[in-house]
Protein backbone atom coordinates (compact mmCIF):
# COMPACT_ATOMS: atom_id res chain seq x y z
CA UNK A 1 0.00 0.00 0.00
CA UNK A 2 1.22 3.45 -0.86
CA UNK A 3 1.96 5.56 2.21
CA UNK A 4 1.91 8.92 0.42
CA UNK A 5 -1.85 9.62 0.52
CA UNK A 6 -1.88 8.78 4.23
CA UNK A 7 1.11 11.00 4.87
CA UNK A 8 -0.56 13.77 2.90
CA UNK A 9 -3.78 13.48 4.82
CA UNK A 10 -1.93 13.54 8.14
CA UNK A 11 0.09 16.57 7.02
CA UNK A 12 -3.05 18.38 5.86
CA UNK A 13 -4.76 17.74 9.18
CA UNK A 14 -1.72 18.82 11.19
CA UNK A 15 -1.29 22.01 9.16
CA UNK A 16 -4.98 22.89 9.43
CA UNK A 17 -4.82 22.34 13.20
CA UNK A 18 -1.69 24.46 13.48
CA UNK A 19 -3.22 27.25 11.40
CA UNK A 20 -6.28 27.24 13.66
CA UNK A 21 -4.23 27.21 16.87
CA UNK A 22 -2.09 30.16 15.78
CA UNK A 23 -4.64 32.32 14.02
CA UNK A 24 -7.96 31.19 15.52
CA UNK A 25 -9.15 31.39 11.90
CA UNK A 26 -12.87 31.76 11.26
CA UNK A 27 -14.46 31.17 7.88
CA UNK A 28 -17.22 33.64 6.99
CA UNK A 29 -19.50 32.08 4.38
CA UNK A 30 -20.92 35.35 3.16
CA UNK A 31 -21.91 34.54 -0.40
CA UNK A 32 -21.99 30.75 -0.64
CA UNK A 33 -22.23 27.65 1.54
CA UNK A 34 -19.28 25.48 2.62
CA UNK A 35 -20.47 22.58 0.49
CA UNK A 36 -21.18 23.01 -3.17
CA UNK A 37 -20.16 22.04 -6.68
CA UNK A 38 -16.61 21.59 -7.81
CA UNK A 39 -14.91 24.93 -7.24
CA UNK A 40 -12.04 27.23 -8.02
CA UNK A 41 -11.30 29.35 -4.96
CA UNK A 42 -9.47 32.53 -5.95
CA UNK A 43 -7.87 34.66 -3.24
CA UNK A 44 -5.57 37.56 -2.48
CA UNK A 45 -1.97 36.51 -1.92
CA UNK A 46 0.65 38.01 0.39
CA UNK A 47 2.01 35.11 2.41
CA UNK A 48 3.06 31.47 2.14
CA UNK A 49 0.47 30.74 4.81
CA UNK A 50 -2.39 31.81 2.54
CA UNK A 51 -3.42 28.51 1.03
CA UNK A 52 -2.92 26.60 4.28
CA UNK A 53 -5.20 29.09 6.01
CA UNK A 54 -7.79 28.89 3.24
CA UNK A 55 -7.83 25.10 3.11
CA UNK A 56 -8.10 24.91 6.91
CA UNK A 57 -11.43 26.74 6.54
CA UNK A 58 -12.86 24.07 4.24
CA UNK A 59 -14.81 21.05 5.43
CA UNK A 60 -12.58 17.93 5.66
CA UNK A 61 -14.13 16.22 2.62
CA UNK A 62 -13.82 19.41 0.56
CA UNK A 63 -10.26 19.97 1.79
CA UNK A 64 -9.31 16.51 0.63
CA UNK A 65 -10.30 17.20 -2.96
CA UNK A 66 -8.91 20.75 -3.08
CA UNK A 67 -5.38 21.50 -4.32
CA UNK A 68 -3.54 24.82 -4.43
CA UNK A 69 -1.82 26.05 -7.59
CA UNK A 70 1.72 27.31 -6.89
CA UNK A 71 4.69 28.63 -8.86
CA UNK A 72 7.01 25.86 -10.01
CA UNK A 73 10.00 28.23 -10.28
CA UNK A 74 9.78 28.80 -6.52
CA UNK A 75 8.84 25.34 -5.32
CA UNK A 76 11.28 23.45 -7.55
CA UNK A 77 14.25 25.59 -6.59
CA UNK A 78 15.61 23.01 -4.17
CA UNK A 79 14.90 19.44 -3.16
CA UNK A 80 13.28 20.19 0.21
CA UNK A 81 10.81 22.67 -1.24
CA UNK A 82 9.98 20.27 -4.04
CA UNK A 83 9.28 17.35 -1.71
CA UNK A 84 7.22 19.64 0.54
CA UNK A 85 5.13 20.99 -2.31
CA UNK A 86 4.64 17.72 -4.15
CA UNK A 87 4.30 15.14 -1.41
CA UNK A 88 3.10 16.95 1.68
CA UNK A 89 1.15 19.98 0.48
CA UNK A 90 -0.06 18.24 -2.68
CA UNK A 91 0.17 21.46 -4.69
CA UNK A 92 -0.30 21.77 -8.44
CA UNK A 93 2.95 23.26 -9.73
CA UNK A 94 2.83 25.46 -12.82
CA UNK A 95 5.54 27.42 -14.64
CA UNK A 96 4.99 31.15 -14.37
CA UNK A 97 7.73 32.19 -16.79
CA UNK A 98 6.22 32.36 -20.25
CA UNK A 99 9.49 31.97 -22.19
CA UNK A 100 11.11 29.05 -20.40
CA UNK A 101 8.14 26.92 -19.62
CA UNK A 102 7.89 23.43 -21.02
CA UNK A 103 4.33 22.66 -19.96
CA UNK A 104 1.26 24.83 -20.45
CA UNK A 105 -0.17 25.74 -17.02
CA UNK A 106 -3.70 25.70 -18.44
CA UNK A 107 -3.34 22.07 -19.49
CA UNK A 108 -2.09 21.09 -16.04
CA UNK A 109 -4.89 22.93 -14.22
CA UNK A 110 -7.60 21.62 -16.54
CA UNK A 111 -6.31 18.07 -16.03
CA UNK A 112 -6.73 18.47 -12.27
CA UNK A 113 -10.25 19.85 -12.75
CA UNK A 114 -11.04 16.92 -15.03
CA UNK A 115 -10.24 14.56 -12.13
CA UNK A 116 -13.05 16.25 -10.19
CA UNK A 117 -10.76 18.16 -7.84
CA UNK A 118 -11.16 21.78 -6.74
CA UNK A 119 -8.41 24.38 -7.06
CA UNK A 120 -7.12 27.27 -4.99
CA UNK A 121 -5.53 29.93 -7.20
CA UNK A 122 -3.99 33.32 -6.60
CA UNK A 123 -4.79 35.34 -9.75
CA UNK A 124 -2.32 38.09 -8.86
CA UNK A 125 0.36 35.57 -9.88
CA UNK A 126 2.73 36.43 -7.05
CA UNK A 127 2.75 37.55 -3.43
CA UNK A 128 1.61 41.14 -3.16
CA UNK A 129 4.34 43.17 -1.45
CA UNK A 130 2.91 46.62 -2.25
CA UNK A 131 0.68 48.90 -0.20
CA UNK A 132 -2.12 48.22 -2.70
CA UNK A 133 -4.70 45.78 -1.33
CA UNK A 134 -4.80 43.75 -4.55
CA UNK A 135 -2.63 43.59 -7.70
CA UNK A 136 -3.90 43.29 -11.29
CA UNK A 137 -5.24 39.82 -12.14
CA UNK A 138 -3.44 37.55 -14.63
CA UNK A 139 -5.58 35.97 -17.31
CA UNK A 140 -5.56 32.36 -16.00
CA UNK A 141 -8.80 32.91 -14.13
CA UNK A 142 -10.57 33.98 -17.34
CA UNK A 143 -9.21 31.03 -19.31
CA UNK A 144 -10.37 28.61 -16.62
CA UNK A 145 -13.83 30.22 -16.49
CA UNK A 146 -14.09 29.97 -20.26
CA UNK A 147 -12.99 26.32 -20.39
CA UNK A 148 -15.03 25.10 -17.42
CA UNK A 149 -18.22 27.14 -17.01
CA UNK A 150 -19.63 24.36 -14.79
CA UNK A 151 -17.04 24.99 -12.05
CA UNK A 152 -17.91 27.67 -9.47
CA UNK A 153 -15.45 30.57 -9.12
CA UNK A 154 -15.51 31.57 -5.45
CA UNK A 155 -13.75 34.79 -4.36
CA UNK A 156 -12.05 34.40 -0.94
CA UNK A 157 -10.63 37.34 0.97
CA UNK A 158 -7.84 36.32 3.33
CA UNK A 159 -7.51 38.78 6.19
CA UNK A 160 -4.35 39.40 8.23
CA UNK A 161 -2.28 36.46 7.00
CA UNK A 162 0.29 38.85 5.54
CA UNK A 163 0.87 40.17 9.07
CA UNK A 164 1.07 36.67 10.56
CA UNK A 165 3.70 35.41 8.12
CA UNK A 166 5.10 38.18 5.92
CA UNK A 167 7.46 37.44 3.04
CA UNK A 168 10.85 36.32 4.30
CA UNK A 169 9.61 35.51 7.81
CA UNK A 170 9.99 31.99 9.13
CA UNK A 171 8.03 32.07 12.39
CA UNK A 172 4.37 33.19 12.40
CA UNK A 173 3.09 35.88 14.77
CA UNK A 174 -0.20 34.74 16.31
CA UNK A 175 -2.90 37.14 15.10
CA UNK A 176 -6.58 36.47 14.52
CA UNK A 177 -7.42 35.74 10.88
CA UNK A 178 -10.60 35.41 8.87
CA UNK A 179 -11.36 34.09 5.42
CA UNK A 180 -14.42 35.65 3.81
CA UNK A 181 -16.05 33.59 1.04
CA UNK A 182 -18.08 35.65 -1.42
CA UNK A 183 -20.71 34.99 -4.04
CA UNK A 184 -19.42 32.89 -7.00
CA UNK A 185 -18.51 34.94 -10.08
CA UNK A 186 -20.02 33.76 -13.38
CA UNK A 187 -18.61 34.54 -16.83
CA UNK A 188 -21.33 36.38 -18.78
CA UNK A 189 -21.97 35.33 -22.39
CA UNK A 190 -19.78 37.41 -24.66
CA UNK A 191 -17.92 39.05 -21.79
CA UNK A 192 -14.32 39.77 -22.80
CA UNK A 193 -11.21 38.89 -20.83
CA UNK A 194 -10.50 42.38 -19.58
CA UNK A 195 -14.03 43.05 -18.34
CA UNK A 196 -14.26 39.67 -16.62
CA UNK A 197 -10.92 40.01 -14.86
CA UNK A 198 -11.83 43.50 -13.70
CA UNK A 199 -15.19 42.32 -12.40
CA UNK A 200 -13.81 39.32 -10.51
CA UNK A 201 -11.03 41.44 -9.02
CA UNK A 202 -13.68 43.91 -7.86
CA UNK A 203 -15.76 41.06 -6.38
CA UNK A 204 -12.76 39.94 -4.33
CA UNK A 205 -11.83 43.46 -3.26
CA UNK A 206 -15.36 44.16 -2.06
CA UNK A 207 -15.05 41.36 0.50
CA UNK A 208 -12.22 43.24 2.25
CA UNK A 209 -13.65 44.82 5.43
CA UNK A 210 -11.05 47.63 5.16
CA UNK A 211 -12.35 48.40 1.68
CA UNK A 212 -15.92 48.49 3.02
CA UNK A 213 -14.88 50.83 5.82
CA UNK A 214 -13.16 53.18 3.36
CA UNK A 215 -16.31 53.25 1.20
CA UNK A 216 -18.49 54.08 4.20
CA UNK A 217 -16.23 56.97 5.16
CA UNK A 218 -16.50 58.65 1.75
Partner 1 sequence: MTETVWLFLGLLGVLTIASAVATALSWRSTRKGDALPSTLANLNSRIKAWWIMVAAISIAFLFGKGGVILLFAFVSFAALREYVTLTHTRRGDHWILLGMFLVIIPVQYYLLWIDWYGLFAIFVPVYCFLAMPALTAISGDTARFLERVSEQQWGIMLSVYCISHVPALLTLPVPGFEDKGLLLIAFLIATVQGSDVLQYVFGKLFGKHKVAPKISPSKTWEGLIGGIISASLLGAALSWLTPFTPLQSGLMAGLACIMGFFGGLVASAIKRDRGVKDWGHMIEGHGGMLDRADSLVFAAPVFFHIVRYFWT
Question: Interface with partner 1 includes 17 (CB under 8 A)?
Answer: no
Question: Interface with partner 1 includes 213 (CB under 8 A)?
Answer: yes
Q: How far is the CB of 108 from partner 1 (least distance, A)?
A: 33
Q: How far is the CB of 162 from partner 1 (least distance, A)?
A: 9
Strand 118-121 to 66-71 pairing: parallel
Strand partners of residue 158:
179
Binding-site size for partner 1 (CB under 8 A) equals 12
Given 24, 36, 60, 149, the residue binding partner 1 (CB under 8 A): 24
3-state DSSP call for residue 104? coil
Q: What is the dihedral of CA 206, 154, 94, 89, to 10 degrees?
A: 110
CB 114 within 8 A of CB 48: no
Which residue's CB is nearer to partner 1, number 4 or number 26?
A: 26
Residue of 30, 50, 29 lying closest to 177 (CA atoms): 50
The 25-44 site mask, x for binding partner 1 (CB under 8 A), equals: -x------------------
Q: How far is the CB of 43 from partner 1 (least distance, A)?
A: 19
Residues in region 141-180 near partner 1 by CB under 8 A: 160, 163, 166, 169, 171, 173-176
Contacts of 210 (CB under 8 A, 6+ apart): 133
Which residue's CB is nearer to partner 1, number 23 or number 200?
A: 23
3-state DSSP call for residue 114? helix
CB 124 within 8 A of CB 47: no
User: Footprint of partner 1 on this chain (CB under 8 A)?
Assistant: 24, 26, 160, 163, 166, 169, 171, 173-176, 213
Amino acid sequence: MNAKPLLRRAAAMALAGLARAITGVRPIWQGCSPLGRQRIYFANHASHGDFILLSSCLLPEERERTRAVAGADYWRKNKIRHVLARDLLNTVLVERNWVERAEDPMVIMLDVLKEGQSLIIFPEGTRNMTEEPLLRFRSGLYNLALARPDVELVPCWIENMSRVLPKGAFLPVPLLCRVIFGTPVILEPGEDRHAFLHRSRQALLELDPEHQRALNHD
